[in-house]
Each structure stands twice: as structure tokens, then as C-alpha cells.
């Protein structure tokens, strides 16, 4: 990643159209035309040579800038709330109240997440607050910078104590050796409304979602996901888009860790205007799933070219990667990524450092291809770029071969034999992969359970993305 990148902190990846317009004005004031999104849901931009006059121009804006990487942006899964599966009590407003309580700039990485979503990583912070089934209580998974292994705090943390815990840990963590010592110190320092852990955290296996395009949100609202494959977001477009949001009473814009953004709560009446707005500017809102599930270093043209090469190979070979995610890393052994499969670029041997040599790569994947397991498995070492497509296709096949069994394993149930499996025909939207199952019908569209797809009216549309009936393709559902 470019070391000259400065950061605009957006707590929890949440901003308002007005706040984002102020950020854009600041960036335009220093002559920039584009901005990057960072993996910690922040905004990144370059200032060549750190010109004092440019920094003076920035200082007149009320925007939190971080240039020397002493501080970290707080990550949250607010972006997933109300549009993907979520813990029953955890609403978008809960995230906002908690984020509002942070009145200091954290030096530790803090994640505040729902375990029932996959868009935002759970465990790549130093302090990982993960929602429990008990209302307003959170597990705390810790991996402090000098600790070799992560550990869970022995009690659940109350929502309104999260800021206090985080700030107190930040003040004392450097001299704390383990979680037992940390708990002892915090018990002495804090009068918190904690709760006994009655069961260990259970994290369901969830496939990576398709997060782009216009999608239904409740009965009369939509959410929109926008993705730029090169992560260069045009400031003029963003400024005009903020104006659209303000004109249509859209209060929040959410940055994802996948270098994209999501807008929730778009009124049904505003949808035609928004589609016209995007169409007039030539904005593509239906990228292939093959290229939207990648996590790359910011402003790294070599990593972007490698991704394009691999995606082309997948496409040419008609390979599915639905549910898988991929990461490219220049830091061998760092293991801070949250993709199912990781491609590490090896540094050239010191003996040839003055010569141009072809890079080699390592390929790793999380156990069961689930980043939340936090255990990498080595698949190949020191391979040439030309070998990567074949290796990744092999991994994709391995992923689909074991798909389903990892869910059973996580629930501590035996795997069903082939004789115990039932196969049922279903129909799946080719745009967003939403399923129509005859057994259940679609109550929201007044289609009763047991209605065969052939008898569904031709006017039927996908309940998520509004694709027409003809876009649904027949497939099979294997029931264990």
C-alpha cells in the first residue's frame, strides 16, 4: 500500500451525505479528483510530499484526518444491519449509539460486529466486540498487539460500557500479559454492568453475500450497493450522489471493508430517479460476483492486475466462486486478511535484490474456507503467477466438495450419507441468487406454499433485485 496515503476516519464506516460532502470539498481543495476506500471502512487519499500548503487547506475543514497511522478507524457491521440476516436485538440505531460514545481516537483496532453477517470481519481487530444472543451484551475477543494468541474476556460486556472498556484497555494494555491479568485489573478499575457467559460464542457458517445493485429492504424501501473495480471513486460523482441523498432524505452512507459502499432506506418513490441518475452517468451496478469478492491492498496497481488476470481465468473457464472470497497480500505471514483464500506475494531473495525476477506466491486458505475459524491451511508455496489460476480453481472445487459439511461440523452433528440426502428442484435468480422454492412459495407476492414455479404468474419478479421470472434458472437443493 502507498505509504503516503492519509486517512479520513469514519467511525464504524458510517457517514452522512452532508459529512461526506465536506470531506469531498476538502479533497477538492487540495487538487484531488478521486478517493480510495480502505479496508477499515475509512477514506484514503494521497498527498505527494506532504506539502505544507495542502495541509493548511485541509485544516480549515472539520474533518478527522490521520496521516501518521498512530490511530485506527473503528470497524462495525452497521452496514449489514436491516439488509442481511442479523441478531434479533441488534438494530442499526444500536450501532449508532455505541459509535457516538467514542469521544477519543483509538490506537487499537476496534471491531463491533454481528456474528450473523459475513460482510464485515469479526476477528481482525485488537478488541473484537461480537453481539451475543443476550440483548445489549457482547462477547469480547482480544488479540492485543504483543499477544501471540487471541482470548475471550471472561464475561459479556454491556453495550453502554463498550467505550469505557475500550478506553481503559488502551490505557493499560502494554503491560498486560494475558486475559486473566487484564480481567483482574479491569475489575479493580471499572464498575461495569457485565454479565456471566452462559454459553460459548457460536458463529454460524454464512456464505459471502452479493452486495451490489438495487435490492428490496422491507415493503416500500430499497438499498443500493455500488462497487468500483479499481477503487478509484470519482469525487465529482460522489458529490452529486450526496446531493441526491440529501434531496431524498437519505441519512446515512456506509463504507464496506470490500472497497464499496451501501445506501439504505431508499424510498420506493425515489427509485426511478436514482436509476436515471446512475444510468446517465454510466454507472454499472451489476458486476460479476467473480470480481466483487476480492480484498486487495489500496492503490496497488500490481495487485489489481493480478486480480484481473485471475478473474479473467475464472471467467474463461466458467468457474463459480460464489461464497468464496480472495485476498492478495504483500506481507507474508501477516495473516490479518479476512478472505477465504489468501495469495501472498513473496519478497525476492536477497541474493537477487538488484535484478528483476519473476515474483512467486504462496496460496493459503482458512480451514473450511471460513475466515471466522482463524486458522490458515497452506495449499502451495513459491508458485509462479501462471500456476495460480489452476490452483485457485482446484481450491474452488475443494470448497464446493466440502460445502455443507462444515455447517454440520460446526453444529456437532454427524454428516449425512448419500442415502440420507434428499434432492429437491428449486429456481434461483441468476442476478442475485435468491431462491424460489415451491414448498414455501412467496407470501410477500401472494403466492401460496406448494405453488409450482410453472404456475407462478409471468409478472412475478425477484423479491430482492426485481429480476423478471425468466431470469430464474432451475437448480437442485440437496437436503441433508
Q: Are residues 279 and 306 in the same domain?
A: no
- pLDDT range class, residue 155, cuts 50, 70, 90: very high
d(CA 162, CA 99): 9
Classify residue 55: in a domain, yes or no. Answer: yes
Contacts (Cβ under 8 Å, ≥6 apart) of 417 = none
Clarify whether residues 369 and 464 are in a common domain: no
Domain contains 169:
no
Q: Which residue has the higher pLDDT, 2 or 153?
A: 153
Q: Assess whether 280 and 216 both reside in one domain.
A: yes
Query: In this structure, what CATH number is given to the domain that contains residue 10?
Result: 3.90.480.10
CB atoms within 10 A of CB 403: 17
In this prediction, residue 412 carries a pLDDT of 33
Instruction: Please indicate, yes or no, whether residues 345 and 390 belong to a single structural domain of this protein.
Output: yes
Domain with residue 299: its CATH number is 3.30.413
Query: Domain containing 423: what range?
Result: 418-479
pLDDT of residue 299: 85
Q: What is the pLDDT of residue 350?
A: 66
| Domains: count for the chain | 3
Given a cut of 60, whether residue 52 has pLDDT beyond it is no
Per the listing, cell 481516537 goes with 105
Residue 415: partners with Cβ closer than 8 Å, 6 or more residues away = 405, 408, 409, 480
Say if 194 falls within a structural domain. Answer: no
Whole-number Cα distances in Å, 226 to 39, 52, 455: 16, 34, 35
Residue 383's nearest CA partner among 365, 362, 364 is: 362
CATH number for position 457: 2.20.28.10
- Is 150 contained in some domain? no
In degrees rounded to 5, what are phi and psi of residue 229?
-65, -25
Structure confidence at residue 311 (pLDDT): 95
User: Average pLDDT of the chain?
Assistant: 87
Same domain? 321 vs 447: no
- Note whether residue 74 is domain-resident: yes
CB 157 within 8 A of CB 140: yes
Q: How far apart are CA 312 and CA 389, in angstroms?
A: 9
Segment 213-237, tens digit of pLDDT: 999 998 889 999 999 999 999 999 9
Other C-beta atoms lying within 10 Å of the C-beta of residue 323? 20
CA distances (Å), origin 201, targets 84, 115, 318: 20, 9, 38
Residue 348 vs residue 212, higher pLDDT: 212
* Residue at 161 is within a domain: no
* pLDDT (0 to 100) of residue 411: 34
What is the rounded CA–CA span in Å between residue 91 and residue 136?
A: 10
pLDDT tens digits, 100-128: 999 999 999 999 999 999 999 999 999 99
Answer yes or no: is pLDDT of 78 > 70: yes
Q: Which of 106, 100, 98 lies closest to 131, judged by CA?
A: 98
Mean pLDDT, rounded, for 438-449: 83
| Judgement on whether residues 18 and 37 belong to the same structural domain of the protein | yes
The domain boundary, picked from 370, 387, 409, lies at: 409
Is 266 a member of any domain? yes
**What is d(CA 214, CA 219) in angstroms, rounded to the nearest whole number?**
14
User: pTM, whole model, 2 decimals?
Assistant: 0.82
Q: Are residues 314 and 252 in the same domain?
A: no
Confidence at 409, pLDDT banded by 50, 70, 90: very low
Q: Are residues 278 and 405 in the same domain?
A: no
Sign of CA dihedral 265, 271, 277, 278: positive
What's the pLDDT at 207?
A: 86
Q: Does residue 208 sit in the same domain as residue 248?
A: yes
Within this chain, do residues 114 and 240 fall inside the same structural domain, yes or no?
yes
Q: What 8-state DSSP symbol labels residue 414? A: P
Q: Which of 382, 409, 436 is the C-terminal boundary of a domain?
A: 409
Of the candidates 203, 410, 207, 229, the residue with the CA atom closest to the CA atom of residue 324: 207
Q: What is the pLDDT of residue 133?
A: 96
Whether residue 10 sits in one domain with residue 72: yes
pLDDT reported for residue 49: 55
Residue with cell 461480537: 130
pLDDT interval class at 425 (50, 70, 90): confident
Indicate whether 85 and 100 sit together in one domain. yes
Mean pLDDT of 8-35: 92
Summarize the confidence of residues 45-68 as an average pLDDT: 61
Note the Cα 213 to chain centre separation in Å: 16
Provide the 8-state DSSP code for 124: S
Report whether pLDDT(280) > 90. Answer: yes
Distance CA 382, CA 19 (A): 46
**Residue 226 · residue 237 · CB < 8 Å:** no
Q: Is 144 within a domain?
A: no
Question: Of 387, 409, 431, which closes a domain?
Answer: 409
Amino acid at each position: 500500500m502507498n505509504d503516503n496515503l492519509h486517512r479520513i476516519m469514519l467511525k464504524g464506516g458510517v457517514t452522512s451525505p452532508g459529512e461526506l460532502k465536506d470531506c469531498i470539498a476538502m479533497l477538492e481543495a487540495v487538487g484531488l479528483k478521486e478517493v480510495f476506500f480502505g479496508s477499515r471502512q475509512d477514506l484514503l487519499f494521497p498527498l505527494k510530499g506532504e506539502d505544507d500548503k495542502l495541509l493548511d487547506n485541509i485544516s480549515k475543514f472539520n474533518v478527522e484526518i490521520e496521516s501518521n497511522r498512530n490511530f485506527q478507524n473503528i470497524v462495525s457491521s452497521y452496514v449489514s444491519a436491516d439488509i442481511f440476516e442479523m441478531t434479533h436485538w441488534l438494530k442499526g440505531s444500536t450501532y449508532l449509539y455505541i459509535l457516538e460514545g467514542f469521544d477519543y481516537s483509538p490506537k487499537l483496532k476496534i471491531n463491533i460486529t454481528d456474528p450473523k453477517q459475513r460482510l464485515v470481519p469479526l476477528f481482525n481487530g485488537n478488541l473484537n466486540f461480537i453481539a451475543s444472543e443476550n440483548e445489549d451484551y457482547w462477547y469480547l475477543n482480544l488479540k492485543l498487539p504483543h499477544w501471540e494468541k487471541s482470548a475471550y474476556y471472561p464475561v459479556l460486556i454491556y453495550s453502554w460500557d463498550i467505550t469505557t472498556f475500550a478506553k481503559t484497555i488502551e490505557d493499560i494494555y502494554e503491560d498486560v500479559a494475558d486475559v486473566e491479568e487484564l480481567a483482574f485489573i479491569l475489575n479493580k478499575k471499572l464498575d461495569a454492568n457485565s454479565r456471566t457467559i452462559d454459553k460459548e460464542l457460536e458463529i454460524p457458517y454464512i456464505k459471502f453475500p452479493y452486495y451490489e445493485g438495487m435490492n428490496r429492504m422491507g415493503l416500500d424501501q430499497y438499498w443500493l450497493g455500488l462497487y468500483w473495480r479499481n477503487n478509484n471513486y470519482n469525487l465529482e460523482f460522489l458529490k452529486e450522489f450526496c446531493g441526491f441523498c440529501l434531496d431524498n432524505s437519505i441519512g446515512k452512507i456506509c463504507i464496506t471493508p470490500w472497497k464499496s459502499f451501501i445506501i439504505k432506506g431508499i424510498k420506493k418513490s425515489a427509485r426511478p430517479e436514482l436509476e436515471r441518475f446512475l444510468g446517465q452517468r454510466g454507472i454499472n451496478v451489476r458486476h460479476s460476483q467473480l470480481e466483487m469478492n476480492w480484498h486487495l491492498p489500496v492503490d496497488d496497481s500490481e495487485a489489481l492486475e493480478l486480480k484481473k488476470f485471475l478473474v479473467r481465468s475464472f471467467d474463461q473457464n466458467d468457474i463459480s466462486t460464489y461464497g468464496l472470497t480472495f485476498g492478495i497480500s504483500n506481507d507474508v505471514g501477516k495473516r490479518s486478511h479476512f478472505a477465504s483464500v489468501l495469495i501472498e506475494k513473496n519478497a525476492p531473495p536477497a541474493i537477487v535484490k538488484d535484478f528483476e525476477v519473476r515474483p512467486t506466491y504462496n496460496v493459503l486458505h482458512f480451514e473450511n474456507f471460513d475466515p471466522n475459524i482463524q486458522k490458515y491451511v497452506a495449499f502451495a508455496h513459491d508458485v509462479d503467477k501462471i500456476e495460480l489460476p489452476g490452483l485457485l480453481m482446484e481450491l474452488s472445487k475443494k470448497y464446493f466438495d466440502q460445502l455443507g459439511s462444515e455447517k454440520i461440523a460446526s453444529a456437532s452433528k454427524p454428516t449425512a450419507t448419500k442415502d440420507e440426502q434428499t434432492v429437491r428442484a428449486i429456481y434461483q435468480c441468476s442476478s442475485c441468487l435468491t431462491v424460489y422454492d415451491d414448498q414455501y412459495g412467496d407470501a410477500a407476492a401472494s403466492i401460496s406454499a406448494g405453488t409450482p414455479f410453472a404456475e407462478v404468474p409471468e409478472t412475478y419478479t425477484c423479491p430482492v433485485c426485481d429480476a423478471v421470472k425468466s431470469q430464474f434458472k432451475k437448480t437442485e437443493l440437496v437436503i441433508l
